[in-house]
Amino acid sequence: MAHIVFYEKPGCINNSRQKKRLQEAGHTVMPKNLLTEDWAGKPGQLREFFGDKPVADWFNRSAPAIKQGLVRPETLDAEQAIALMLAHPLLIRRPLMQVDQQKLAGFDEQQVHHWIGLSAAPHPDDLESCPNRQHAVSCHG
């Protein structure tokens, strides 16, 4: 099983459920605070989590600046996106996960299963979208 460095927003409901899902599959999870990590000192390392995903998919769609229309991810290039994320970590899609030198952003269950393995049954809930969005309650990204 894998040892996962798991960058999360502490208190995020889905990040808690994602960690539990990983642990149920036998993985160990080392949580780190995505919001206080020194990404400014390593912008290239932050970029590595997004792989070949389109820039717009690098963003946390629940972030207040995106919901308010202040940031429009589809209009940004990679350099602009990273600069915004360094200044405003709430914009970063969660979780960021690292196993050895491999990195991944977001929690698409099928992708995670193919990457490191999950238990057979998919989680009945959406583990990527903020559950508070469905109830018009803000978790502030």
Catalytic residues: 12
Where do we find the tokens 């963003």?
59
| CB proximity list for 44: less than 8 A, separation 6 or greater | none
Q: How far apart are CA 13 and CA 26, in angstroms?
A: 20
Tokens linked to 44: 């290239």
Amino acid at 114: H
The one-character DSSP state at 123 is P
